[in-house]
């Protein structure tokens, strides 16, 4: 296997908006692939490119001190065959690093890949089609290791219908623009995310299913996560199923939109979810499971019946929970989200078989007036934690669920609260 080494162009850093290096790096990738594969190695220095298409049997490696930045011109990110409209109506699919149908591909090293997402702010005419940092479609045997990913213009890493993927020891910082997810796994199988550090404005690690393929055999271990929204999430796009998912030995801290959020709403089911040995520090929520029946379709396909959540195990979860701050979201005060463990199925599709074992939840409490009114059913509306206001309890809310067991679960409340610790509506075979 060969190695093609690329050096920075002298003086290129004088105009950081121009894609000086696209053609020569792409040529090296193409040559390496045609000749049987190998490594394209970027030496220390600055490089600016538009879209680079990764190819089979090629690893793009960035040396320590190498900085690969995205162009500030949208014409350097051409449309591709996989572009789509996401759950919030944005046109997605352009990317700085892109591959489709490739096998045995890698991104590795100690360098930085910077999407320079601040170049496409909300007032920019191309804001709605701003590019991802990395997008891989129907690829197999993917290795991404060691790199520092920064400031994607949209989602950071998006893998769709990929198989046998390893994401290891990555650093992700993405806090510019909106919808700046960290890692999005969409309809993939056999994915291992390990020892990564994520600091994101939107969902940090998010499993999705926009097509008929399931997300299955996914493991997330040893990660440190802080996020302006969820730390670990299943949803928003959820037309396919989710099976054999494990999250373990992680720390979630300073999270505003629930530490753990599981919200299948487009017909997909979640079955076989194992969450264990997770520490949450200063997290809202902290645990929010809600089925839904939005039933949105993608790529011309969709389902007509809601899915369900079943066979969930949560063990040794320790959470210090905080109330959300002020402001409004989806037309209701975000500050209503005071903290509670929520499991909410549907009246016509019960959630089933949930175990909480040896978990500790320190809740904020603080409600001093009696709560009146019924927790609204979401129906076709996308469920968010604060929309469940008023919650009639400070600890755990159970609705439309069959078979929930609590073993060795400890719940405490920091501030006096007039509400009871638990509340149940259509909760069957519950053992606390």
Residues 103, 54: contact at Cβ < 8 Å? no
* Rounded-to-integer distance, Cα 264 and Cα 221, Å: 22
Average pLDDT on 255-267 reads: 96
User: Which residues, at least 6 apart from 197, have a Cβ–Cβ distance to it below 8 Å?
Assistant: 170, 171, 172, 223, 224, 225
Looking up residue 306, the CATH number of its domain turns out to be 2.160.20.10
**Tens-digit pLDDT profile for residues 189-239:** 999 999 999 999 999 999 999 988 999 999 999 999 999 999 999 998 999
pLDDT band at 15 (very low <50, low <70, confident <90, very high): low
Residue 336 or 129, more confident: 129
Question: What pLDDT does 14 receive?
Answer: 53
Q: Which of 78-82, 202-206, 239-243 shows the lowest mean pLDDT across its residues?
A: 78-82
301 strand-pairing partners: 298
Q: What is the pLDDT of residues 147-162, one digit of tens each?
A: 999 999 999 999 999 9
Alpha-carbon span 40 to 35, nearest angstrom: 12
The tally of domains found in the chain comes to: 1
Residue 253 makes CB contacts below 8 A (sequence gap 6+) with 224, 225, 226, 280, 281, 282, 283
Print the domain residue range for 265: 2-431
| Percent of the chain whose pLDDT exceeds 70 | 98
Q: What is the pLDDT of residue 285?
A: 94
Query: DSSP class of residue 153?
Result: S
User: pLDDT digit string (tens) for 370-398?
Assistant: 888 889 998 899 999 989 887 999 999 99
Query: What Rg, from alpha-carbon coordinates, does the chain have?
Result: 22
Confidence check: pLDDT of 241 > 60: yes
CA-closest candidate to residue 211, choices 188, 243, 177, 234? 188
Q: Print burial letters for 104-142: b (CB count within 10 Å at least 16), e (below 16).
A: bbbbbbebbbbbbbebbeeeeeebebbbbbbbbbbbbbb
Residue 290 has pLDDT above 90, yes or no: yes
């Amino acid at each position: 296997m060969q190695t093609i080494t690329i050096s920075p162009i002298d003086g290129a850093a004088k105009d950081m908006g121009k894609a000086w290096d696209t053609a020569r790096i792409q040529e090296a990738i193409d040559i390496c692939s045609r000749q049987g594969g190998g490594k394209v190695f970027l030496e220390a220095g600055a490089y600016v490119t538009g879209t680079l298409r990764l190819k089979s049997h090629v690893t793009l490696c960035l040396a320590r001190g190498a900085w690969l930045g995205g162009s500030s011109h949208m014409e350097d990110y051409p449309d591709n065959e996989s572009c789509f409209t996401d759950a919030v109506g944005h046109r997605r699919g352009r990317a700085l690093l892109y591959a489709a149908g490739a096998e045995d591909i890698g991104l590795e090293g100690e360098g930085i890949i910077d999407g320079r997402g601040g170049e496409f702010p909300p007032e920019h005419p191309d804001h709605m089609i701003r590019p991802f940092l990395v997008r891989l479609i129907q690829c197999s045997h993917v290795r991404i290791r060691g790199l520092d990913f920064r400031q994607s213009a949209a989602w950071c890493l998006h893998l769709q219908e990929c198989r046998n993927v390893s994401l290891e020891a990555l650093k992700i910082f993405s806090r510019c623009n909106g919808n700046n997810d960290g890692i999005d796994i969409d309809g993939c199988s056999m994915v291992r995310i390990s020892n990564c550090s994520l600091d994101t404005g939107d969902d940090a690690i998010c499993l999705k299913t926009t097509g008929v393929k399931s997300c299955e055999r996914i493991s997330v271990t040893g990660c440190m996560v802080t996020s302006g929204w969820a730390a670990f999430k299943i949803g928003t796009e959820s037309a396919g199923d989710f099976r054999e998912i494990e999250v373990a030995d992680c720390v979630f801290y300073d999270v505003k939109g629930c530490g753990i959020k599981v919200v299948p709403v487009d017909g997909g089911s979640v079955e076989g979810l194992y969450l264990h040995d997770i520490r949450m520090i200063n997290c809202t929520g902290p645990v929010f499971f809600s089925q839904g029946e939005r039933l949105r379709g993608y790529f011309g396909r969709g389902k007509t019946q809601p899915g369900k959540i079943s066979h969930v195990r949560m063990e040794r979860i320790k959470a210090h929970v905080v109330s959300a701050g002020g402001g409004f979201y989806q037309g209701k005060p975000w500050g209503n989200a005071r903290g509670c463990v929520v499991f909410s199925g549907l009246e016509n599709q019960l959630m089933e078989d949930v175990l909480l074992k040896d978990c500790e939840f320190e809740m904020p409490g603080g409600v001093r007036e009696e709560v009146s009114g019924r927790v609204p059913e979401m129906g076709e509306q996308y469920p968010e934690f604060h929309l469940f206001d008023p919650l009639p309890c400070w600890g755990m809310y159970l609705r439309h669920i069959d078979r929930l067991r609590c073993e060795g679960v400890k719940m405490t409340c920091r501030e006096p609260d007039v509400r009871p610790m638990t509340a149940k509506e259509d909760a069957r075979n519950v053992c606390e």
